Amino acid sequence: MTMPRGLEGIRVLDLTNVLSGPFACHQLVHFGAEVIKVEAPGRGDLARNLGADPALNARGMGVSFLAQNAGKKSVTVNLKHAEGKALFKRLVTEADVVVENFRPGVMDRLGLGYEVLKALRPELIYCAISGFGQDGPWRGRPAYDQIVQGMSGVMSVTGDATSAPLRVGVPIADTIGGLTAAFAISAALNARPRGALIDVSMLESVLVTMGWAVSNFLIAGVEPTAQGNENATSAPSGTFQAQDAPLNIAANKDEQWQALARHIGRADLLERPDYATREDRKRNRHALNAEIEAVLRTRPAEAWVEELAAIGVPAGAVLSVPEVLATEQVAGRGFLKTYSRVPGVEADVRVATTGVKLNHAAPQVETPPPTLGQHNAAVWGALGLGEEDLARLAKDGVI
């Protein structure tokens, strides 16, 4: 069966930098949208110079850029130049979506804000991603992922009593903000009549994902605290040390707890009043964990994982990034895509795609991340600009 590409025929202008916006458009391009990355001449997306490989950073093809820009086209235009503004406006008349993640007010100061662009293209969906939203007392504050993690409360509940507040090890505020934007854009594309201003707050996007913690405070009056590797809602549920490595066990339901106790040869724990109910087990979790771990330490982690999974007790190894990427589960589902001899990199590049399959196939795009301005001739040429026009515009610093 053919994989449906629900955004086929949709043109997106991606004015974004670094992660939240590029990640949003990364989702859209994998579902069929034509994404044109609009970059500043000479420098482009800051992510082109970010990543763990200094040589790629120097070439403007940093790992951070390669990670979420496959399938996109790249054009350069100076939005501070009068001719650049005019060119961009022409491009907007043929676009369905504009995505930007500048600080609130920047596009208005450039004379390219929503009201101006809406007048050119009434059906336009304009998505602005920012740290705190387009209004409110914090609207003008600069915000990176770590700033939002701290202000959202995430860091206050990450780690344990001795290590919190602790930053989550991946940029969750940026990526959650990007996913929220992609979801909102997809919904707006389905509305009739089409046309919307979407205001995505990274702060609020993160708070949405903290629903249980937020609701425990709002409804039950219980302030969330750092629980380390323990699941605050159940026990035994957390990380345990086996003979050779740690593993996670989540015996969240009574029947799972009972199956776990019997399988490790500790059915006697089921008879103890301290562990009789979920609330009892939560109150006495540390003593219970010690009883369980004493048995788990006698055998390798993988043996326990396989046996517990077989009897319906959720369990899993604690893997590193290289380890999980090498598993048959991930490698065998089409989650990773390899691009051969990528221009600007001059080597093969392998990147993650999306976490979705449609009709048994993982969405993928066929073209690698673009070099800066790679598609100037094709995109600007489609607006009627010839080689001489492009040469003059480049000389004048417009593109």
The predicted-structure confidence for 377-387, as pLDDT tens digits, reads as follows 999 999 999 99
What DSSP character marks residue 386? -
Tell whether the model's pLDDT for residue 4 goes beyond 80.
no
Average pLDDT of span 44-52: 97
**Torsion sign (Cα): 48, 154, 186, 92:** negative
Tell me what percent of the residues of the chain surpass a pLDDT of 90.
97
The per-residue pLDDT for 6 is 92
Residues with catalytic annotation? 174
Average pLDDT of span 159-181: 97
pLDDT, one tens digit per residue, over 269-295 is 999 999 999 999 999 999 999 999 999
> Among candidates 206, 203, 216, 150, which has minimal Cα distance to 176?
206
Could you give the domains of the chain?
11-209+332-395 (3.40.50.10540), 237-323 (3.30.1540.10)
The per-residue pLDDT for 5 is 86
The per-residue pLDDT for 161 is 92
Tell me phi and psi for residue 102, to 5 degrees. Answer: -75, 170
Quote the pTM value: 0.94
pLDDT, one tens digit per residue, over 130-140 is 999 999 999 99
Average pLDDT of span 239-261: 98
Give the pLDDT band (50/70/90) at residue 349: very high
The per-residue b/e assignment along 105-123, b for 16 or more CB within 10 angstroms, e otherwise, is ebbeeeebbbeebbeebee
